[in-house]
Chain A
Amino acid sequence: MPLVELTDVHKTFPAARGRTPVEAIRGVDLTVEAGEIVGIVGYSGAGKSTLVRLINALETTTSGSVQVDGREITGLKERELREVRLGIGMIFQQFNLFRSRTVWGNVAYPLEVAGVPAQEQNARISDLLHFVGLADKAHSHVEELSGGQKQRVGIARALATNPRLLLADEATSALDPETTQEVLALLRRVNRELGITIVVITHEMDVVRSLAHRVVVMEAGRIVEEGPVVQVLSDPQQPVTRRFVSTIVDDEPDAEALAALHARHAGRFVKLAFRGDEVRQSDVFAVLLEHGVRFELVFGGIEEVQGETFGNLTLALDGDPAAVDAAVDAVRALVPTKELAR
């Protein structure tokens, strides 16, 4: 049974005065299996923030079904929803820590809400602060912490009530690259060591690449593409997905770059796509050499994501035209090949 199951979910925000209603979510089906990390990517306004807020019922659906842990949560009373929320942790881009409380007090908050006895609270908070590496900051105030430390407090607070699911809303977007890696490493531990399912929303493909098992791409309130991270990164289908993937994986030079490259390098330009380990680059290069074709690598790169290798290489092929034609045909049999320029 999936941990989260959304079926044909719609969410329309009623019109503010003098404005039209906003259809934030337009028919989303989404399944999150227990134990996985799902990355939801999309530009701002794509509906991803609304989507996660439907999962923990901070927003209510206009229509459709949301099931969490086998329980239908649409139509539940506020009282019952509070119970559901206790079982779902959430962290935020701006951390949203209570300034009026210390680090300890922040982590204590969900436990107070849940009515956990004081003795138990103390043990739990102490464990959590050790887990996130902030035991020495227990009595610090929020403003004394760095961004990364604040998010670690946020994570400890979100985990306080032992949730099965953690929702991360742009949790690293306000952090510098180094701190981002720290927080991502912590989230991986949350998933691996505690077995907590994580849904991350982000516009940073880096986060998806290094954290998620599966990626869901949203545009204009709909899911336009989803799949295992390696598959989506190596073979994006939708334009919006390609734009996201291009931020971390070089695809092919755009028209302007291509013209500039072509001016500097003679020959025919082809883009070769390497997916997984079935075809090695050396095999392809060997074919080119056999045909007496000289080549230069002018654009692209090879990525390794979660143990799988893939990438796109743009080559400038130089030699006898007939030999180049024959070489391209032979290469085409090995890897997806695209003509870019002659």
Chain B
Amino acid sequence: MTDSNMDQLWPLFWEAAWETLYIVAITLTLGGLLGLLLGLGLYVTRSGGLYASRPVSVVLNVLVNFFRPIPFVIFIAAVQPFARVVVGTGIGNPAIIFALTLAAAFGISRIVEQNLVTVDPGVIEAARSVGASRARIVRTVVLPEALGPLVLGYTFAFVALVDMTAVAGVVGGGGLGNFALQYGFRQFDTVVTWTAVIAIVVLVQVVQLAGNTTARRILRR
């Protein structure tokens, strides 16, 4: 214990924790929104969907299937040129936020689609039978009926994003993952590594608990 530098590292730790929080918060918001739109697109264009369209569905599926399986650490490198164009830099937190937002959008789109397909087609038919428009049905039936599972899905996405931020260091990004690798793992300082680990675990637990509670309230069970 006496070998550990943790005593001196607390300011850096708090900075790293804050970085993880804001990177995840921004990417979950932006990527979550993009993912929601993309997921809605996947859902409504499915065969039998409200806007069933085979060509659009195929295009969206190919797009999502192309990007989603790329390991994030490689994805960062792959989209770096685009990051330079869009956020003006290929390194640091802006580049990480850019890559993470894109990756999150593709991942979340599938989560959204999976949750929306569980909405009973019968309630959609009931809404159609009273003359509701398709856009209204998406807004007032599909999303509210799937809200509970969607909250759980986004909670899952949050945890996945925390996981993905760990590799931010490869392009000079910060966060708890980078902190653990740089000051813990590479300095053979187990205390530092485990401090970061515990912080991540606590963060994930708190968010998961909040997500579960919210979903339970929505689902009333």
Q: Which residues of A contact B126 (CB under 8 A)?
A: 90, 92, 96-98, 157
Q: Say yes or no: A113-B130 contact (C-beta < 8 A), given A100-B144, A141-B220.
A: yes
A-B contacts, CB under 8 A, total: 73
CB neighbours (8 Å) of B29 from chain A are: none
Question: Shortest CB–CB separation between residue B10 and chain A, in angstroms?
Answer: 46
Say whether, besides A90-B126, A92-B125, A113-B136, A99 and B131 are in contact (CB < 8 Å).
Answer: no
Known: A96-B120, A96-B122, A96-B125. A82 touches B145 (CB 8 A): no
Picked from A78, A100, A141, A161, the residue with its CB within 8 Å of the CB of B130 is A161
Is there a chain A Cβ closer than 8 Å to B164's Cβ? Answer: no
One of B120, B123, B132, B141 near A82 (C-beta < 8 A): B132
Does B147 interact with chain A (Cβ within 8 Å)? yes
In this complex, the member of B123, B126, B130 whose beta carbon has the largest number of chain A beta carbons within 10 angstroms is: B130
Per-residue interface assignment for chain A, residues 136 to 177, with 1 indicating a CB less than 8 Å from any chain B CB and 0 otherwise:
000001010000000000000110110000010000000000
Which residues of chain B have C-beta atoms less than 8 A from A167's C-beta? Answer: 129
Chain B contacts with A in 114-143, Cβ cutoff 8 A: 120, 122-123, 125-133, 136, 140-141
Q: Give the most central of A84, A90, A161, A167: most B CB within 10 Å.
A: A90
Residues of A within 8 A of B120 (CB): 94, 96
1/0 per position for A75-105, CB-CB distance to B under 8 A?
0001001111110111010101111110000
Which residues of A sit under 8 angstroms from B123, Cβ to Cβ?
96-99
Known contacts A92-B125, A141-B220, A143-B220, A98 near B145 by CB under 8 Å: yes
CB-based contact B125/A109 at 8 Å: no
B144 to A83, Cβ gap below 8 A?
A: no
Is A22 an interface position by the 8 A CB rule? Answer: no
Q: Is the CB–CB distance between B122 and A82 below 8 Å?
A: no
| Interface presence of A301 (CB below 8 A) | no
Q: Are B130 and A85 in contact (CB under 8 A)?
A: yes
A109 to B144, CA, bound (A): 13
Q: Is the CB of A85 within 8 A of B144?
A: no
Q: Output the residue of A97, A101, A109 with the most chain B CB within 10 A.
A: A109
B140 surroundings in chain A (CB, below 8 A)? 109, 112
A197 to chain B: which residues have CB within 8 Å? none
Contact indicator B132/A113 (Cβ below 8 Å): yes
| Across-interface contacts of B125 in A (CB, < 8 A) | 58, 92, 96
Across the interface, do B136 and A88 meet the contact criterion of CB distance under 8 Å? no
Known A58-B129, A85-B129, A89-B130; further 9 A-B contacts with Cβ < 8 A: A92-B122, A98-B123, A98-B127, A109-B127, A109-B140, A112-B140, A141-B220, A157-B130, A161-B131
Q: Lowest 4 CB-CB distances: which A-B pairs, in order?
A: A110-B130, A100-B144, A96-B122, A96-B126
* A interface residues with partner B (beta carbon < 8 Å): 56, 58, 78, 81-86, 88-90, 92, 94, 96-101, 109-110, 112-114, 141, 143, 157-158, 160-161, 167
A-B contact pairs, 22 of them (CB 8 A): A58-B129, A82-B133, A85-B131, A88-B129, A89-B129, A92-B122, A94-B120, A96-B122, A96-B123, A98-B127, A98-B145, A99-B123, A100-B141, A100-B144, A100-B145, A109-B127, A109-B130, A110-B130, A110-B131, A114-B130, A157-B126, A158-B129
